[in-house]
């Protein structure tokens, strides 16, 4: 029998651009985004995505940063950490990344990363992370104008979805699809508090609800909560979603339906690495600046 921890697991992965020779690059920069659940190390050469890794965050930020960067550097034709000219750390673990020369918040990095991934027309970004939700408004350059964060609890975040995966014995990556396998959309669970949501899900199962129906009710509750936050700040087109939950169609489609706006999509980049991309772009700009000033 599968252990409960298996259901919350997701595939960790790495990637290298196949046709890029980093040795010809003027600037190799890196962004390391240590989130509460996942860590990404993103390497860019002259502002273009070159390699990245995405893995589960460990209990120790410096160790997580080291592992993610080492993995991103694998299969990069001899590229080493010494060849990286500037590293920016971001995410909640940003202050504990020994190899980073600068720390910048994930809010600024996600905005810049979304600008890179989806283009300069993006004005509102939703980042649903492991333990928080952020709504960000930015200008055409990806500079943050305003933002809102949920506070205090992990309700409506990736962590809550993990708990539900364990409870219902449904692999995390299948939750989105399964949540649509219902005859009609049920009422949302009354609370997206992780603890109360878990209790209510159990109660619904005892009432005879199918797992799919409970998932639909939970995804809807999570979407409701996120949309409340978005509407407090206001949504402007283009609207983009980043972070791990951007891959959960059960939540994403319900958010789009509630807002009556379709989020921009791309097959080219992984939206979960938006923060790392933003950090790597900041790293590049900061290195250029230091080079110009002779630093």
Q: Which is nearer to another protein, 121 or 146 (CB)?
A: 146
DSSP letter string, 185-253: PPPPPS---HHHHHHHHHHHHHHT--HHHHHHHHHHHHHHHHHHHHHHH---SSEEEESGGGG-HHHHH
* Token pair for 182: 């219902």
Interaction of residue 27 with another protein, rule CB under 8 A: no
The answer to whether the beta carbons of residues 158 and 129 sit under 8 Å apart is: yes
Non-local CB neighbours of 106 within 8 Å, separated by 6+ positions:
33, 35, 90, 91, 92, 94, 127, 129, 134, 275
Interaction of residue 291 with another protein, rule CB under 8 A: no
Non-local CB neighbours of 287 within 8 Å, separated by 6+ positions:
27, 29, 85, 86
Measured distance CA(216)–CA(295) in Å, rounded: 54
Minimum gap (Å) between residue 119 Cβ and another protein: 20
**Residues forming a β-bridge with 31:** 42, 88
Interaction of residue 151 with another protein, rule CB under 8 A: yes
- Rule CB under 8 A: which of 62-101 touch another protein? 92, 95
Interaction of residue 286 with another protein, rule CB under 8 A: yes
Return the range that interacts with another protein (CB under 8 A); candidates 14-22, 33-41, 102-110, 234-242: 102-110
Interaction of residue 233 with another protein, rule CB under 8 A: no
Minimum gap (Å) between residue 146 Cβ and another protein: 7
- Rule CB under 8 A: which of 107-126 touch another protein? 107-108
Interaction of residue 147 with another protein, rule CB under 8 A: yes
Interaction of residue 106 with another protein, rule CB under 8 A: yes
Interaction of residue 105 with another protein, rule CB under 8 A: yes
Minimum gap (Å) between residue 176 Cβ and another protein: 27
Q: Which is nearer to another protein, 108 or 214 (CB)?
A: 108
Measured distance CA(109)–CA(102) in Å, rounded: 12
Interaction of residue 152 with another protein, rule CB under 8 A: yes
DSSP state of 262: P
Measured distance CA(164)–CA(166) in Å, rounded: 5
Measured distance CA(200)–CA(177) in Å, rounded: 21
Interaction of residue 289 with another protein, rule CB under 8 A: yes
Interface residue with another protein, options 27, 99, 144, 261 (CB under 8 A): 144
Chain residues binding another protein by CB under 8 A are: 92, 95, 102-108, 143-147, 149, 151-152, 282, 285-286, 289
């Amino acid at each position: 029998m599968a252990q409960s921890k298996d259901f919350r697991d997701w595939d960790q992965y790495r990637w290298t651009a196949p046709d890029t020779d980093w040795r010809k690059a003027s600037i190799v920069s890196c962004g390391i985004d240590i989130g509460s659940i996942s860590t990404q190390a993103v390497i860019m050469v002259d502002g273009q995505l070159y390699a990245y890794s995405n893995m589960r965050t460990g209990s120790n930020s410096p160790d997580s940063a080291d592992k993610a960067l080492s993995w991103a550097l694998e299969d990069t034709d001899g590229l080493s950490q010494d060849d990286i000219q500037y590293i920016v750390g971001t995410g909640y673990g940003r202050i504990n990344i020994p190899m980073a020369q600068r720390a910048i918040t994930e809010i600024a990095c996600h905005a810049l990363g979304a600008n890179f991934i989806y283009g300069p027309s993006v004005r509102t970004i939703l980042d649903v992370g492991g333990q928080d939700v952020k709504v960000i408004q930015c200008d055409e350059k990806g500079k943050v104008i305003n933002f809102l964060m949920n506070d205090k609890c992990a309700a409506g975040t990736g962590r809550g979805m993990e708990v539900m995966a364990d409870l219902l014995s449904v692999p995390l990556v299948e939750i989105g699809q399964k949540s649509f396998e219902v005859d009609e959309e049920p009422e949302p669970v009354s609370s997206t508090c992780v603890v109360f949501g878990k209790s209510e899900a159990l109660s619904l199962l005892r009432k005879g609800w199918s797992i799919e129906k409970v998932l639909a009710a939970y995804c809807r509750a999570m979407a409701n909560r996120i949309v409340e936050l978005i509407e407090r700040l206001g949504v402007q087109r283009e609207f983009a979603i980043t972070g791990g939950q951007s891959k959960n169609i059960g939540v994403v489609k319900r958010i789009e339906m509630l807002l009556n706006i379709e989020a921009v999509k791309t097959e080219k980049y992984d939206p979960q690495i938006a923060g790392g991309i933003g950090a790597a772009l900041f790293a590049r700009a900061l290195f250029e600046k230091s080079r110009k000033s002779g630093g």
